[in-house]
Structure 1
Amino acid sequence: MNALEDIIQRCHKRHNALLRQRRTVITPALYKQIPYHIKVRCARATPIVLDDLERADISFMPIGHAPENDRGPRDFGGDRFLKRQGTSDWPDSRWYASWGIQIYTGIPSERNGARWHDFYFTYQAVCAAPDTVLACVEALLKTTANPLLTLTKSGGLRFSCRIPDYLHPSTGAAKSYIYKYAPTLEDPRRRDMYLEIRGEKGYSRWDSRYEILCGDLLNPPVITKEVIFTPVDALRAVLHEPGLLGETYLETLPETTPVVPASIGSKNLNLAKDALLQRGFSYLRGNAGFHHWVQHHSEHDDTYVSLWEDQGVVWLRASTPNAGLPTRATPITDIWNDTGITPPTSASVLPVSDKVLAVREGKLSPLGIKRPPPVLYQQTDTKKVYQTPEAHATQMQRIFEKKARIIGITAETISGFTSAVEAYLLRGGATCLNIANRTFADAAEDRYHALKLPSFARWRAKMYRWEQVKDIPTDERMANPFQAGNLCEDPERCRAIEAKGGKARECICPKCPVYTECQARGYLSQPHTLKHVKAQISPLGKVFFDPQFSEMLEQILDPMNETERVCILDKRYVEISPLFLESVLSKDVLEKWDVNWSGRALGNFATSLLRALEIRGEPNGSAVGRVRSVVAAFQQYEEEIVQQMCHINVQGKVVAQKTVDDETGKELAHFAIAFEGGASACIPLDTYAEDRFTEKGVPCFSVDAFIPNADIEIPMRMAEAIALGVLDTETVEKIQAFPTVYHDPNWTLWHQLKRFFAHYPRDVDAPMRWSDKILQFWVPPILHPSVKRLLLRAPTLSERYLYRVFPGEAIEVVHTQPTAWVPGNQVFQIRTDIYSFQTLLNYDTDWDVLSLSKIGERLFSGIRAEIDRDPSVKHAIIANTAITEQLADLKEKENVCFVAKFKRSERVDLGFQAADVVWIIGAPRWAESELWFQAQMLFGNDTEPLHYVGEPDSETYKDERIQNLLQQNIIGLLTRIIGQIGLNRWTDKKVMLLTSCAVPDITDRPETLLFDWEDFEIAGGLDKLPEVIATREGFEAESAKLTAESSREEVERIWGCSSRQANRLLYKLRGGNIPRVSFQEQILTLLADGEKKASELVEAIGSSSQSVGNELKRLVDLGEITRVQRGVYALKKE
């Protein structure tokens, strides 16, 4: 059997044994705005990185998981058929949920005028005419040296190629190129498809269910139309049978399979769509949110219905009477109970089962309700002491006596730490408080005003209150500067010059008409003011350890009356990675260095760095290694590179220009340099001449060698170029055209790269990325020498992590004792699931519409009922972003204070005070890429490489470092949020913590009750939940005391189970291994005592009525039992 005959056998084998999809693999990468490599299984044993597909000029889209989502996104069509689609053309979430790709055929995947085409030989063709198909495939393989032939998932064959100057049409007749017309009464259009050609507006699936038999997906053959269609047309001549009336007649026949959109809106609408299709309805059209359907019964008997969704409820209305469907708008769940849509709940009432009602009435043990096993347990520590607010304040104040340079403080609430800082100031201390953002700085300032602190000031930006005065005419503003409390009268030009690396006080301020006033009471007065106050407030990020603020810190951190100033960083965010310094370099800057410093050290360095960064398709470590090699290669030119990074290379021309000292008559210069715009500078003859020019204020540059009347390059600082008139600062637009420089010669890109590579000796896992236009990398902070003591407050802190952020520093972490809660405040924490982002949303069940999962719907059904139950009780909800987007209706309720995202909850402090019940739903989510970069910053310098494999669905990672980092982030955020709720300050607070993450000093408190959602449903609301939890815990305690001597009745009572289940449990307690007893044996044994009703048999066996009913039917058919009457059975009489 030759190779081609083997292909036919493989087709049959594949048809009978299908392959499975493989999930897309995502790992960190240096390149792309999406900071990771995406590796897709485009075929069996063929993983391909998407970057490679883009370089091969292939247009593609992600596809979901079969069978529910075995397709591309619903917005794959339209203009996407006209231009190439790549990785960034699809949302990140699509790639995380993808299981392969579809490749656009035709124009999007063309290269050099050759368009992509796929020729599909169906499995029907292989079965109908194997030899003929084999001959055609063999001829196609011989047309090129690099054929691309794929075995499809169902056993067909696909030949792929690019055809120059040709695009196969997308019409039905052209696409269905070879078929046999085989009509039936049910389907007059039925055809046996043999060959389909996909070109214009087409796409083909590529995932691990397909297998490339020969060729390379990244290098398909290029074949002319005449050559490719010769064997195809030969096959068509043999197999194509369009019928007696031809293809034109066939196209006029009505469609028997209606075209239905892949999605008609929300998840529930799509479920309703599936329910209607299953019942024989055909989709007609959609209009203004309404979807119209028809069900054909006969020529004059059709049923028309309308479908729509309103406030989460899917409604259906029939416009045809006597169709068995309501002609008034009715929830679809009231018509059919198998749609998969959760029925709407009435206000304040939870839907409950008969078992739940029995538990409420005390007729059944709560353990009789099926519930997930607990994953969270309380470790009750009877020796744990919870401090009073006064004792806590005393402990916090002692922290200021610590001598370590960096003191980490884990304070459960911001208020306690703030009070300690204020007490320290009132005792005569001096501080510099750096707060996360302007809003919190405003709050601190208001607090200081309220306390009437006599000596405090706040650093404000140049743009402060600029919006209020910017429209006032300039002359009027300059005549009365700072009239609205603004600190600068020309902040936009100042900000623009600083963005280019210049210093505004050198380049802009000296020429400002209000320069003197500014030094007295404007922006320039701030260093002097701050230096002489006890309490400083600064909202500038990373001010204590970012070298760009070094000069300012030197001015303001001097001791106050010999009192050492304590620097305080109130870090309200929970991640520790923001303490690292981010370095950013644009491609535009590199390209300008390359041009402006061509042939010089900086120009050569920029050229080499660009080349290193723009090599694609290699692992992250290789790219970082190339950058490292460039830095090492230019190490010998460090001094020159640093100098050039701080200067502008100005082009000029040497001209003859004799200059004589008007006082001494001595010649000072024979030549000058003429610059563009009319500016010029003398070339002094010697040192004496240079000194004389400097005394007179005449611009001059000493040049070692020059050629008269030739061009020359003069490096100069930005301030010099502006003073000389080479650079024009008249407008912001002109400033934005300046070259970029570094104002600090001790902190340039060169210094940042050197620090980066010194800290991260391994290329793999080093936190650096390149996104085509921007280079970003992160380095540990540099604590300024003026900072003698730094207090760092956060909800949670790890001493181990702090040492990684500040290597070599003296660090001490103080874990403050938690404070007691106000009596009556409670936390209810669910114990059965962490409820991750993926668990609460339908990521794996609906490819097109993101909505709540079944579990999510169940939780929010209860939450909505609780909110509606008592309008006087105020609620607040905190959840992940995508979940809050599903809660539009809750945001509008009058007794809902707010619906906030986890990472934005710090902005709603007042809302917490007003809320009686706070719902914290699920575990906070960190995107994989965000978590990877945090891990790289902290652990990228470890000897052991990081391992990024994990299960985001369950929030678990194999690498303990990444797992611990994620846990630290989650616990820190939950701790901060619960601290904001004010359980130790305000009364009548309840927290519903719907995640099983153990939170220190929260989970193990006596005021925290662990519950199952089944407890909440049994209670019917929060009021009775403690009582239900106590009852369930009582039964669990009794269950733990069961022994082999316990009676079956006692086991039934405690566990709420059948006698059969109780017997099995007792058998296990007695050390036995119960063999499975078949339904047949149990039924025959029970009927030995006489005839029994089916319901009695079901109850005795303890299984479902359907399973027992099926077995009864089987035994009746076998003749082993008889049916005495409907629902009554007996043994067959001899």
Structure 2
Amino acid sequence: MITKTDKNVNKTNKNVIKNDTYFGKIIQKCKNRHDNPILTPIKTIRPGNEYRVSYAKDRTCNPADFNTAGIGIIPCGYYDVKGKFHANSPERYGQDSGKNWYTCYAVKDWKPQTWLKSHGIQVYTGGPSNYLTDLDFEYAIIRDHPEITVEILSRLCDLTPNPFIVISKSGGFRFSCHTPEYIHPKANQHREYITTWVNRKVRKDLYLEIFGEKGLSRYDARYEIVEGSIFEIPTIDHTSLFEVIDDLRDQIGEPRPEAAAKKQKNTRNHTKASQPPKNTQTINVENHEIDVTNLTFTNNRSRVYPTAVCPVTEHKDKHALAVQFYNHDNGSVNGYCHNCSSHWWVIPPSRELTIKQIREDKLSPLAIYRKPIKLRKDRITPEEHITLAETANRIWQILSEQDARIIGLRADTGTGKNYQTEQYALSEDEDKGAILINVPHHDLAIDLERRMQAILNKNFLSESHVYRRRGLLYKWNDGKDAAQRFPFEVPCLQAPRCDAYRRKGGNMYKVICATCPVQSECLEYGYRSQPIHSKNALMIITAHAEMHTNPAYKGFAKPYLKDSAGKQRLVVQDDISIANLFNIYEISKAQLDKWIDTWQNEPLAEFARKIHRICTEGEPTPYMIGEYLKTLDDEVKAKINYQMTHVRIQTYNAEGIPNPPEEMTLDNAVSRGYFDASTETKIAKLPRVYPKNWTLLDQLIIFFNHYKRTEDAPIQYHNDTLKFALPPSLHDDIWKAVFMSATLDEELFTRTFPKAHTNNLPPTEWKPPSVTYQLRTNRNPRATVYKFIDSKPASLSTSAEKTWQLMINEIRNTPNTKHAIITYKQILEWKQKEEASDFDTHDNIIATAHYGGLVGLDTEFQNADVLWILFAPEIPSHTIIWNAKLFYGNDETPLDYERDDKDVYKDKRLRRIWKYAVISELIQAIGRARLVRSAKTIMIFTSHYIPTITDRPETQLFDEADFEIAGSIANLGNAIKKREAAKKKAQDLTGENTLAEIQKVYGCTERQARKHQEKLTDISSNVKDKSHISESLLINNYCDPFRNVTLASQIITVLESMHHKTAEIIEVVEGQPTAIKNELKRLVDTGKIVKVRYGVYGLP
């Protein structure tokens, strides 16, 4: 079972990283590696004509594979004649050896004896390996900031679908990626990126080193690859990468003390492969000053210049003239040396300029970097949508014609579910007309009452035909003088006292009401008059969640279930949450102790003692209560039940000798003066009793009869309280009940009510021109939204603040448009407390709400023109586990609470619970806009797939670059349309297209276009030569040749149709054969695929 995430890890106790996520497990692995290091690397061997190098734990390959992947290498690690190990290369690689830091060196560039001495390799970072950037996180950051490290690792992995992570020999970890056109500088102040200091001369801790320019990263058997493949290192835009890293530096880094007054600046923007400033440039060529802006370009190329112009000086001149300059559509200019193949920017590409040119249709929308896609529309054929009138008609038929006693109804928010209940109440049919509707809270009840009164007035009927039942404590805290508001506003003059006594199990009517000075007024107009006044109503409205489904309220609910003519009312539960229908029961340790003291030598005392012992001795095992209950015979159970409904009074005679104890009801004990119930404080000291036929024993017996496999039963002992849950039980007196919701899950509902009939209505058409824009590149979970200090949210992360400011800019620029916001509660509180709060300065923000508090906000949100839904709802893991126990705790198959390597629950039942919880919140949020009745725009900043929303034709999927290009919501649709058109052109390209055509479609350089052309040519030949492979397999693999997908996803796609041999998989999967074989082994080990027989694989 997964341990609950502990967010209070501190520096004094870090033996265990208390985080149950996939990334938390990686960090724990680092901790274990630090405590138990692998000490010995493995020597390179040459079993035949090729070398085999151990470049990581349990990983070997031919070093030529690195060069095939475009990675420069050097053999390293050797033992001298004295047996001492040296970490550096056996061969010299400095300038005097003829080597440099700009060439991608291959196997043949190093001597055979060097390879045979070596115990691993070093990889060149920076230019020689296609702009490779390595983030080396030292063990110190895991030691000091484990939770922050987990969050940062999660955010880094969110930048790419195929992250590459390596655990170092000392317990740190490395995150590697290609950063096109960016090389991180080698100077210490840049390489040692996050540090802390003892004083201005002594560094305390180094947390992060970044290797780019003139860098080497070691790989040998002491390192462990925990994610990805070294032959498929991802490509990430350096701007997005440093957003994450700079967030981390802001949280835990310190500037060098002498620069304390001047915060450590981000200098990476000035180091793009030795780039000069972006304005007019000059280059020194053999003592001549050449102005770059005056260079003449023919077909985007300059004339050839002397080799001396090349920034690489340590190479042999093959030609005296070797350097050319190239200009590009995005305004950039780069130099290229034909001698050493070095590339550098003279005028680097500007994102702002690129966006401007895309807006002006001078450049392809594909020219700009975009984050990996996390969300796509699923449906090839659009799902059915029905009109609002058709939806209303179907709801009416369900209410009036279905014969099932328990009915579940899912229909979109705003489709008139409540309106149809009103029409049902007004129906003149003999079998209709009496209804009792329960809503989530009083505000909704008031709104429904007013609406029904308006309908009654319109039909010239008395307003008494609708009755809103008020709870005991209704309006009690809304004013000081309750007496002046009784009985029409405040229904009970002694409400708190009555409520306290009722909770103790007493009958307030007998004990409190009997002596109340306003009892007659209460019977005529107050709380006690309600069952009588409601009899004549066509519709009764309540806000009592458990009124119809908790056996404890069976007697209380009975007077409301029939009208004055004896007609049974249709019971409707509106806007339900299925999990909230379960009834929660509790018994405190204090109550058990009272029973033990009061009922000594009686069955109830022994029962309480046994429950107490099971829950408190050693590790609490409350599910063992079920085994104990099996030992009780009927006679003992009857005695326990009797004693639970009574109190025991010990009296004494005149001489002080104890009389035999008396047993009586709580009401009798109060009436006879044994207990004082005159105040709430005194009532709190009274013993608790249970109603007949629903005692704690009854509840526990039913619980263990329902949850027979008790290890997964929803029962726990926490904070000196035993808590357990029972499924809802519809009262026998209820004729028919309908449960309505926009988020009803049919499977979970029928597990709750096995005999129920469910109705899932098709999505209802939205009012045109409604439109929804949903982010396709980031789920935006809580871990990436906040910056954390000591594991507590302290502020918004850089990326989340950008999203917030994007929204605020749109709000500022559209003063005549009304906006509403739904996000986390804490974000709203932070923003409202800011000195210049966005809510104070922008009057067109008319409504805000937070996840978990979305029910009943229709009136405020219906007036908004644009609804912003920021980030993904956060569902705590303990809530997911508890709800899984509610619904699946009685399954024969035990629940599996563990998660896989992507932090997803392995058990599909827990995945369903998690999905239902998250999607329900999002659908509730979207439902506030009432799109079926009024046209609005919704901005959704999470990439969760939302049923009935994501696949709609009105929903358009966008990414951050789309919004940058658009500049506003008004232009966003057009930006998306242009990007999709460009993508379609890219998919239609073949190897026969010219370089110029490919450049235009992709908005890329000639060098990049050539790579695309090579790939297209290879794909064309692959498709032509692979006729023995299934057509669907080829379509899956080649439909989008430029997508960035992991080896794992490709392999699983290949195996979806049938079993395949290793050779067949290697033929169609993009990647190095060795990497593919290693991935096959990993997928088998993790259970994602199975080895059918030797060399043949399939899905489980």
Q: Same fold (TM over 0.5)?
A: yes
The residue aligned with 1:371 is: 370
**What is the percent sequence identity of the aligned residues?**
29
How much has 1:506 moved relative to structure 2?
1.9
- Tell me, in whole angstroms, the C-alpha distance in 2 between the residues paired with 1:96 and 1:1070: 42
8 A contact 2:138–2:171 mirrored in 1: no
The residue aligned with 1:301 is: none
8 A contact 1:1068–1:1074 mirrored in 2: no
- Tell me, in whole angstroms, the C-alpha distance in 1 between the residues paired with 2:384 and 2:203: 79
CA displacement 1:237-296 (0-9 Å, x = unmatched): xxxxxxxxxxxxxxxxxxxxxxxxxxxxx99999569887237335xxxxxxxxxx4xxx
**2:768 counterpart of 1:823:** yes
The residue aligned with 1:631 is: 629
- Tell me, in whole angstroms, the C-alpha distance in 2 between the residues paired with 1:1025 and 1:187: 50
Query: What code does the residue aligned with 1:389 have?
Result: L
The residue aligned with 2:639 is: 640
Distance 1:983 1:646, change over 3 A: same
**Of the candidates 515, 538, 556, which is equivalent to residue 560 of structure 2?**
556
8 A contact 1:482–1:489 mirrored in 2: yes
Question: For 2:641, what is the secondary structure of its paired residue?
Answer: helix
For residues 705-1104 of structure 1, the aligned pairs below 5 Å read: 710-742=658-690, 744-807=691-754, 810-842=755-787, 850-888=794-832, 889-892=837-840, 893-950=842-899, 956-987=904-935, 989-1071=936-1018
Question: For 2:660, what is the secondary structure of its paired residue?
Answer: strand
CA displacement 1:491-548 (0-9 Å, x = unmatched): 2321121121101012222232333333232222212222332211111112111012
- Tell me, in whole angstroms, the C-alpha distance in 1 between the residues paired with 2:247 and 2:984: 46
How much has 1:587 moved relative to structure 2?
1.1
Query: What code does the residue aligned with 2:582 have?
Result: F
8 A contact 2:440–2:855 mirrored in 1: no
Between 939-948 and 858-867, report the one with greater CA deviation: 858-867
8 A contact 2:414–2:931 mirrored in 1: no
CA displacement 1:115-145 (0-9 Å, x = unmatched): xxxxxxxxxxxxxxxxxxxxxxxxxxxxxxx
Distance 1:94 1:936, change over 3 A: farther
Distance 1:487 1:46, change over 3 A: farther
8 A contact 1:24–1:98 mirrored in 2: no
- Tell me, in whole angstroms, the C-alpha distance in 1 between the residues paired with 2:681 and 2:766: 57
**2:595 counterpart of 1:522:** no
For residues 284-299 of structure 1, the aligned pairs below 5 Å read: 293=261
For residues 132-531 of structure 1, the aligned pairs below 5 Å read: 271=249, 277-278=255-256, 280-282=258-260, 293=261, 352-379=351-378, 384-400=383-399, 401-414=401-414, 416-428=416-428, 429-452=433-456, 454=462, 455-467=465-477, 471=481, 482=486, 485-531=489-535
The residue aligned with 1:578 is: 580
Distance 1:71 1:503, change over 3 A: same
How much has 1:897 moved relative to structure 2?
2.2
How much has 1:784 moved relative to structure 2?
0.2
Question: For 2:1018, what is the secondary structure of its paired residue?
Answer: coil
- Tell me, in whole angstroms, the C-alpha distance in 2 between the residues paired with 1:66 and 1:635: 61
Distance 1:770 1:98, change over 3 A: farther
8 A contact 1:542–1:579 mirrored in 2: yes
Distance 1:481 1:1008, change over 3 A: closer
How much has 1:416 moved relative to structure 2?
1.2
Distance 1:615 1:373, change over 3 A: same
Query: What code does the residue aligned with 1:768 have?
Result: I
8 A contact 1:433–1:570 mirrored in 2: yes
- Tell me, in whole angstroms, the C-alpha distance in 2 between the residues paired with 1:406 and 1:95: 50
How much has 1:977 moved relative to structure 2?
2.1
- Tell me, in whole angstroms, the C-alpha distance in 1 between the residues paired with 2:145 and 2:538: 63
**Of the candidates 119, 144, 149, which is equivalent to residue 71 of structure 1?**
144
- Tell me, in whole angstroms, the C-alpha distance in 2 between the residues paired with 1:753 and 1:95: 44
The residue aligned with 1:588 is: 590
Query: What code does the residue aligned with 1:901 have?
Result: H
- Tell me, in whole angstroms, the C-alpha distance in 1 between the residues paired with 2:678 and 2:397: 54
8 A contact 1:21–1:66 mirrored in 2: no
- Tell me, in whole angstroms, the C-alpha distance in 2 between the residues paired with 1:554 and 1:275: 66
- Tell me, in whole angstroms, the C-alpha distance in 2 between the residues paired with 1:777 and 1:965: 19
Distance 1:499 1:719, change over 3 A: same
8 A contact 2:415–2:932 mirrored in 1: no
Distance 1:382 1:1074, change over 3 A: closer
- Tell me, in whole angstroms, the C-alpha distance in 2 between the residues paired with 1:854 and 1:958: 32
Distance 1:463 1:849, change over 3 A: closer
CA displacement 1:758-805 (0-9 Å, x = unmatched): 111123221112123211111111110111211101112222211221
Question: For 2:667, what is the secondary structure of its paired residue?
Answer: helix
- Tell me, in whole angstroms, the C-alpha distance in 2 between the residues paired with 1:98 and 1:353: 27
Question: For 2:592, what is the secondary structure of its paired residue?
Answer: helix
Question: For 2:924, what is the secondary structure of its paired residue?
Answer: helix
Question: For 2:854, what is the secondary structure of its paired residue?
Answer: helix
Q: Which runs of 5+ in 2 are unaligned?
A: 1-13, 36-136, 154-169, 173-198, 205-221, 223-243, 272-349, 1023-1100
Distance 1:494 1:983, change over 3 A: same
**2:18 counterpart of 1:24:** yes
Distance 1:98 1:1031, change over 3 A: closer
8 A contact 2:438–2:545 mirrored in 1: yes
- Tell me, in whole angstroms, the C-alpha distance in 2 between the residues paired with 1:606 and 1:1067: 78
Aligned length: 730
**Of the candidates 603, 606, 629, which is equivalent to residue 604 of structure 1?**
606
Query: What code does the residue aligned with 1:433 have?
Result: I
Distance 1:25 1:1001, change over 3 A: closer
Question: For 2:697, what is the secondary structure of its paired residue?
Answer: helix
8 A contact 1:834–1:922 mirrored in 2: yes
8 A contact 2:31–2:142 mirrored in 1: no
How much has 1:883 moved relative to structure 2?
4.0
Distance 1:460 1:806, change over 3 A: same
Distance 1:515 1:22, change over 3 A: closer
Question: For 1:652, what is the secondary structure of its paired residue?
Answer: coil
Between 795-804 and 932-941, report the one with greater CA deviation: 795-804
**Of the candidates 527, 532, 535, which is equivalent to residue 536 of structure 2?**
532
How much has 1:95 moved relative to structure 2?
13
- Tell me, in whole angstroms, the C-alpha distance in 1 between the residues paired with 2:696 and 2:152: 39
How much has 1:1018 moved relative to structure 2?
0.8
- Tell me, in whole angstroms, the C-alpha distance in 2 between the residues paired with 1:582 and 1:628: 17
Distance 1:847 1:930, change over 3 A: closer
The residue aligned with 2:191 is: none
Distance 1:278 1:555, change over 3 A: same
Query: What code does the residue aligned with 2:411 have?
Result: A
- Tell me, in whole angstroms, the C-alpha distance in 2 between the residues paired with 1:645 and 1:41: 52
CA displacement 1:781-833 (0-9 Å, x = unmatched): 111011121110111222221122124xx211112233222222211112223
How much has 1:190 moved relative to structure 2?
12
Distance 1:45 1:368, change over 3 A: closer
8 A contact 1:728–1:734 mirrored in 2: yes
Q: Which runs of 5+ in 1 are unaligned?
A: 1-19, 28-36, 48-63, 74-92, 100-151, 155-185, 192-208, 210-265, 283-292, 294-304, 308-315, 317-331, 339-350, 656-673, 677-708, 1076-1134
Distance 1:374 1:1070, change over 3 A: same
- Tell me, in whole angstroms, the C-alpha distance in 1 between the residues paired with 2:872 and 2:437: 31
